Amino acid sequence: MDAVNPWRTTPRKSVVVFLLAVFFVFATFGFANDIIDMGRQPPLRFAVAVVLSGLFAVSYAVTGVSLRGQFWKAFLPLFALQFVIMGLLANWLPDAPQPAQLGAPEIARLHGRLTFDGLATVAGIFLGYAGFIYVFISEGRRHIRAHTEMARLEGEMAAAREVQQVIVPDQGESFPGFAVESVYQPAQQVGGDFFQILPVGGGGLLIVVGDVAGKGLPAAMLVSMLVGSIRATAEYTYDPVVILRKLHDRLVGRTFGGFATALAAHIASDGHVTIANAGHLSPYLDGREIELAGALPLGVEGGGQYETASFELGRGSRLTFYSDGVVEAQNQKGELFGFDHAKAISTEPAAAIVDAAVRFGQSDDITVVTIKRLMASEASAAWRDEPVPAPA
C-alpha cells in the first residue's frame, strides 16, 4: 500500500463531489431492483435499499483508494455485510403479492411507480456523471498546475546546480608544495556544504570549510552568499578570525534565520597552520584530531567571538577536513558512521573517505578536503611536471 493516502492529498471539495457522484450512480441500483420487482417493494424497503446501495458503493470507493492493491481486505467483508443486510431487509419487508389480474387502478399505480424509478435513475446517472466531470476537470487543472510548478522548481534547481558547480573549487588546481584533494557529494540536487581553497601570497593556502543549516534551494542560496563573502574577504586578509567574523556578520540578524558552521585555516608555505573554528568539526592531522576552542556557529546571536590555534603541518603530513555528513552517515540499522570510524580513515584519500561514508548510508551532504604537505623531493618533482608557460 502506498504510504501516501490520496484522500489526504486531494482537495476536500473534490473528494466530497467524487463520493457524492459515486453515491448517485450506484443508488440507481435500488431503482433498478424496484423495476425488476415491478414496483412491488414496500416504500420503506425501497427507500432503504436505494440509500444502502449508494452508501456501500461509497465504502468500496473509500477503502479501494486507501488500500490500493490490498482492497480485498475491506471489499470482501463489506460485500458480505451488504449481502446479509439486503437479505434481512427482503425478509423483514417482503414484496407485495403479485395481483392475478391488473385493473386500471393497478396499471396506473404501476405506471407511476416505474416512471418514478426511470426518472430517478436518469437523475442519479446525470448527477453522478456531472460530479465525475467536475472532479476530472478540477483535478486535471490541479495536476497541470502542480507539474508546471514542479518544472519551474526543477529549472531553479538546475540553475542552482550550475551555480554550485561554478563555486566549488576546481579539483585539478595545483598548489606549489601541497597536494590538495577535495570531494563534494550533496545528499540532494543541491547542498548546504561549502568550501574554498585559495592560494595566498608567499605560496600558502587559505581553506574555509562549512555547512549551512538545512538542505535544498534555501541552503544553496546561503552557500552562494557565503562563498562570495569568503572570496571578497580573502582579497585583503588571510586571518581566519577576521574571515569567520565577516561571515558571521553576513548571517546574523537575517529574517530567514539562517546559520552555518565553518572552519577557516591559513597554511603558510613553511607548514605553519593558523586555524579558527565556528562550531564545525575539528580537522584531523595524520589521524589525530586537532583540539580547537569551541564557538557558536555563524549567524547565531551572541556569537562572533573566535579563537585561533596554531600547529605545524610537517612535510609528508596530511590535514583532513570533514563536514558532518561523514560522521552522520547512517545505515539501514540506524547505526551512525561515527567519529571513531571517521578518525580511523582520515589518513586515506578524500575520494576513499567519501566512498566509505556513501556506501555506509549517506543522509546529509558530504565534503572532504585533504591537504598534504609534500616532501622536498615530491614538491620538486611536481614542479618539474608542470607545463612551462608560453612566452608572451
Question: Domain locations in the chain?
Answer: 6-96+103-155, 168-383
* Residue 365 near residue 192, CB atoms below 8 Å: yes
Structure confidence at residue 156 (pLDDT)? 63
Judged against a pLDDT cut of 70, whether residue 3 lies above it is answered with no
Q: Which three cell numbers stand for residue 225?
A: 552568499
| Those residues with Cβ within 8 angstroms of residue 90's Cβ, 6 or more apart along the chain or in another chain | 45
Q: What is the pLDDT of residue 384?
A: 52
Q: Measured in Å, how far apart are the chain's first and last C-alpha atoms?
A: 70
What pLDDT score was predicted for residue 168?
67
Class of domain 168-383: alpha beta
Query: What per-residue confidence (pLDDT) applies to 1?
Result: 41
**Residue 369 CB neighbours (<10 A):** 24
| Band of residue 256 on the pLDDT scale cut at 50, 70, 90 | low
202-232: pLDDT as tens digits: 889 999 999 988 776 777 778 888 888 999 9
DSSP assignment, residue 206? E
Per-residue pLDDT reduced to its tens digit, 61-82? 888 888 877 888 888 888 899 8
| Average pLDDT, integer, range 283-300 | 91
What is the average pLDDT value for the chain, to the nearest integer?
85
Count how many Cα atoms sit within 13 Å of the Cα of residue 130 in the half-sphere of its side chain. 8
**Would you state the pLDDT for residue 202?**
82
pLDDT average, residue stretch 315-328: 93
Alpha helix segments (H runs only) across the chain: 6-9, 12-36, 43-67, 72-92, 104-167, 216-233, 240-251, 324-327, 338-344, 350-361, 376-385
Angle at 314 between CA 311 and CA 320, to 5 degrees: 70
pLDDT band at 193 (very low <50, low <70, confident <90, very high): confident
What is the predicted pLDDT for the residue at 321?
96
Burial of 283 (0-12, 13-18, 19+ CB in 10 A): buried
